């Protein structure tokens, strides 16, 4: 069976980090699992290159939008190549074939009467590239603008019943369950027609029949899944017969676009709907979603150089319950690597293979009885279990089962003590030694094959060290059974696959490399990291102040007790800050664009304590919080590396 799966296409206004890599690594794993299930699996990925954000970022960086998109799209592509992502299609939304597909889809919707023209005034979330409700606008960190224009609308309101029926008839259409419920209640709440064009924007695909408009980014972006297959083009359309897609893997924040808008567009165009959408959770780093805007991103390249990308794949898939949010930490990454890969699979492989080299001259011994006993039973059960878990996207449970099998062989070796058996002269002991090492090597072979969708490179290397000439990617669950390791197979030897890592040194190295990669990536985006203040002039003598002038300003260390958004003020937060006085200070600060209220609670900050109080939006602001203005105009709070005591005076 053919199996077509996709990742979202990545916005080119950020360079790749491991939050993006998470979606792609999972999709790559799913492709490999489907292949092991016997499917002919295809993976589509790409870059999302239109829209206001990209136009603005390009302008800021001094590139044309196309140049900018070329650079960042190239960075994504080479990232996926260097991480060994086995993709079959890479779509760029600035390719002419994609414009053809978007226009084709639009014309089908139009022909069927689902497009109308209307004026629209609304709040536009520039970062999310969508009109938002007033309530949603309150929660948005980035810029929100009021936009009025004549737009082409998609008549989404006509699809409420059909969508609800589709969800009901196809319980697996949206997974996991929690997301399905969320989408159903959103659709039940009523659907408004959707603006799908912009007159105000140039950087996009022109609307057929109205050059004054370009497509709204989501109508443009979602269509990529069909562009890849040749829809809307002159070439042969979908030669492999891959549409409808079997699975769209997406992050949870974009499930609505995939589970509501996309199927409605396809229904309107009389096209078959994808079979399923799976929404995963977020990678959390330093307590927040990893994202460029928050500035808390971790890149894959430093991890690849120190731990290896397979360590990251394993960590993300074993540690995070797929569908839920999960924390990333360097300690967790290296800890998992040492426990599961260096001590677990790596150790099992090197011990078993080394003993076969030493005791049997590198040839798999022939056991008198190759039934494998209890280990064979466990291995057979594990094959079925892992397949079922992986098929159901339960990666952590599947990996638990693989590691339980690997642990069972460790225990078996400790019990059998081949290093003692080798000393025995009698036939029975010799036979027992052959059985022990045959069984251990055979389980190693099965464990390696089972782990291969998650650890493709290292599994291929262990497979080679086991003397297997077949291509590991050709192994199928159905053909994987106990007893296929041929006695007499010569083992070619090789290096240990997962050398143990020093925890502290590895973390330090990754953090250092992170800085280098950060600079490289900043250059891709056209910004030089250290450039900024070099040319600033020293203040003239006449502008300088006396120390006494400075002493008039009383600055103190405080800790944030509470933080809330201020109603109807996008930029303001209302904070209470304890500076060691009887009552915490009430302070209103223009930092809402850069800080989530919850992330500030408990944080030490510096404030000016002797300013005259004033009222902002009806709230008393008794002090000023000190912050630097970042390059993008966003505030960056002054903070302390060492633990500064509350109330301490700055100066």
Residue 169 exposed, middle or buried by CB count within 10 Å (0-12, 13-18, 19+): exposed
Largest CA distance in the chain: 100
Which residue, 93 or 406, has its beta carbon nearer to ligand MSP? 93
Cα 119 from Cα 152, distance rounded (Å): 8
Buried residues in 407-418 as b, exposed as e (16+ CB within 10 A): ebbbebbeebeb
3-state secondary structure 22-56: HHHHHHHHHHHHHHHCCCEEEEEEEEECCCHHHHH
Which residue, 289 or 397, has its beta carbon nearer to ligand MSP? 289
CB of 274 to ligand MSP, least distance (A): 12
Look at strands 585-589 and 206-207 and give their pairing: unpaired
Which residue, 252 or 571, has its beta carbon nearer to ligand MSP? 252
Is there a contact between 507 and 331 (Cβ–Cβ < 8 Å)? yes
Which residue, 8 or 453, has its beta carbon nearer to ligand MSP? 8
CB of 217 to ligand MSP, least distance (A): 8
- Count of positions (residues) in the chain: 651
Which residue, 218 or 337, has its beta carbon nearer to ligand MSP? 218
Q: Which two tokens stand for residue 194?
A: 């959707």
Is there a contact between 147 and 197 (Cβ–Cβ < 8 Å)? no
Cα 51 from Cα 202, distance rounded (Å): 8
Which residues have C-beta within 8 Å of that of residue 98, sequence separation ≥ 6? 91, 92, 205, 220, 223, 224, 227
Which residue, 173 or 477, has its beta carbon nearer to ligand MSP? 173
CB of 461 to ligand MSP, least distance (A): 29
Buried residues in 41-77 as b, exposed as e (16+ CB within 10 A): bbbbbbbbbbbbbbbebbeebebebeebbbbbbebbb
Which residue, 250 or 409, has its beta carbon nearer to ligand MSP? 250
Which residue, 36 or 300, has its beta carbon nearer to ligand MSP? 300
What are the angstrom distances between the C-alpha of 235 and each of 41, 231, 238? 22, 8, 9
CB of 9 to ligand MSP, least distance (A): 5
CB of 224 to ligand MSP, least distance (A): 6
Within 83-133, where are the H helices?
96-111
CB of 140 to ligand MSP, least distance (A): 15
List, as own/partner pairs, every contact residues 463-468 make where C-beta atoms lie below 8 angstroms and the sequence separation is at least 24, other chains included. 464/492, 464/494, 465/349, 465/353, 465/491, 465/492, 465/493, 465/494, 465/497, 466/353, 466/441, 466/491, 467/364, 467/491, 467/492
Task: Check whether the bond before 75 is cis (ω within 30° of 0).
Answer: no
CB of 51 to ligand MSP, least distance (A): 9
What residue ranges bind ligand MSP (CB under 6 A)? 8-11, 19-20, 22-23, 48, 221-222, 224, 250-251, 253-254, 282-283, 289-291
Cα Rg for the chain, rounded, in angstroms? Answer: 29
CB of 17 to ligand MSP, least distance (A): 7
**Residue 167: how many CA atoms within 13 Å on its side-chain side?**
25
CB of 142 to ligand MSP, least distance (A): 12
Neighbours of 94 (CB within 10 A): 21
CB of 11 to ligand MSP, least distance (A): 4
Q: Which two tokens stand for residue 284?
A: 């959390």
Which residue, 8 or 467, has its beta carbon nearer to ligand MSP? 8
Which residue, 70 or 554, has its beta carbon nearer to ligand MSP? 70
Which residue, 262 or 477, has its beta carbon nearer to ligand MSP? 262
Residue 21 exposed, middle or buried by CB count within 10 Å (0-12, 13-18, 19+): buried
Which residues have C-beta within 8 Å of that of residue 305, sequence separation ≥ 6? 509, 510, 513
CB of 455 to ligand MSP, least distance (A): 21
CB of 44 to ligand MSP, least distance (A): 10
By beta carbon distance, the residue nearest ligand MSP is: 251
Which residue, 30 or 402, has its beta carbon nearer to ligand MSP? 30
CB of 442 to ligand MSP, least distance (A): 38
Which residue, 100 or 251, has its beta carbon nearer to ligand MSP? 251
Is there a contact between 610 and 563 (Cβ–Cβ < 8 Å)? no
């Amino acid at each position: 069976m053919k199996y077509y799966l996709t990742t979202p296409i990545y916005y080119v206004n950020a360079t790749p980090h491991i939050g993006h890599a998470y979606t792609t690594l999972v999709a790559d794993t799913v492709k490999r699992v489907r292949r092991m299930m016997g499917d002919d699996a295809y993976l589509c990925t790409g870059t999302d290159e239109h829209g206001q954000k990209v136009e603005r970022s390009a302008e800021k960086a001094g590139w044309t939008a196309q140049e900018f998109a070329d650079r960042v799209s190239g960075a994504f592509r080479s990232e996926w190549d260097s991480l060994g992502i086995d993709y079959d299609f890479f779509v760029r939304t600035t390719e002419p074939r994609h414009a053809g597909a978007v226009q084709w889809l639009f014309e089908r919707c139009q022909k069927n009467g689902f497009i109308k023209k209307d004026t629209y005034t609304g709040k536009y979330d520039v970062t999310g590239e969508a009109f938002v409700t007033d309530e949603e606008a309150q929660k948005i960190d980035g810029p929100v603008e009021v936009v009025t224009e004549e737009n082409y609308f998609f008549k989404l309101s006509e699809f409420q019943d059909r969508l609800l029926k589709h969800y009901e008839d196809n319980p697996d259409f949206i997974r996991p369950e929690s997301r399905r419920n969320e989408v159903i209640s959103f659709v039940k709440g009523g659907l408004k027609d959707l603006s799908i064009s912009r007159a105000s924007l140039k950087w996009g695909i022109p609307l057929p029949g109205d050059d004054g408009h370009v497509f709204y980014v989501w109508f443009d972006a979602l269509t990529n899944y069909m562009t890849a297959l040749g829809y809307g083009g002159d070439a042969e359309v979908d030669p492999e017969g891959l549409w409808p897609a079997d699975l769209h893997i997406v992050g949870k924040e974009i499930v609505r676009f995939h589970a509501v808008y996309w199927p409605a567009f396809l229904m309107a165009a009389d096209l078959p709907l994808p079979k399923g959408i799976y929404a995963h959770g977020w990678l959390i780093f330093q307590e927040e979603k990893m994202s460029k805007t928050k500035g808390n991103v971790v890149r894959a390249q430093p991890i690849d150089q120190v731990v290896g990308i397979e360590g990251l794949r394993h960590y993300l898939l074993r540690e995070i319950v797929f569908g839920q949010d999960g924390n990333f930490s360097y300690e967790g990454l290296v800890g998992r690597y040492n426990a599961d890969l260096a001590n677990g699979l790596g150790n099992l492989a090197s011990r078993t293979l080394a003993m076969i080299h030493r005791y049997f001259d590198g040839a798999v011994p022939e056991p008198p009885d190759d039934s494998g006993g209890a280990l064979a039973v466990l291995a057979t059960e594990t094959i079925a279990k892992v397949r079922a878990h992986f098929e159901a996207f339960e990666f952590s449970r599947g990996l638990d089962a693989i590691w339980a099998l690997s642990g069972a062989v460790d225990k078996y070796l400790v019990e059998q003590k081949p290093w003692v058996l080798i000393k025995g002269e009698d036939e029975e002991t010799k036979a027992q030694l052959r059985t022990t090492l045959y069984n251990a090597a055979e389980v190693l072979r099965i464990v390696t094959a089972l782990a291969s969708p998650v650890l493709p490179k290292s599994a291929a290397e262990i497979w080679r060290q086991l003397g297997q000439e077949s291509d590991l990617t050709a192994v199928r669950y159905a053909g994987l059974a106990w007893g296929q390791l041929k006695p007499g197979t010569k083992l070619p030897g090789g290096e240990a696959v997962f050398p143990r890592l020093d925890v502290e040194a590895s973390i330090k190295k990754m953090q250092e490399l992170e800085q280098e990669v950060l600079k490289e990536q900043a250059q891709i985006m056209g910004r030089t990291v250290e450039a900024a203040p070099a040319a600033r002039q020293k203040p003239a003598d006449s502008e300088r102040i006396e120390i006494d002038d400075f002493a008039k300003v009383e600055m103190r260390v405080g800790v944030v007790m509470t933080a809330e958004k201020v109603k109807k003020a996008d930029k303001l937060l209302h904070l209470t800050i304890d500076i060691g006085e009887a009552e915490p200070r009430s302070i209103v600060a223009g930092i809402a664009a850069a800080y989530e209220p919850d992330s500030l609670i408990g944080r030490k900050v510096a404030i000016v304590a002797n300013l005259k109080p004033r009222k902002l939006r009806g709230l008393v602001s008794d002090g000023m919080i000190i912050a630097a203005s970042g390059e993008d105009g966003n505030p960056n709070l002054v903070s302390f590396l060492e633990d500064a005591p509350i109330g301490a005076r700055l100066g």
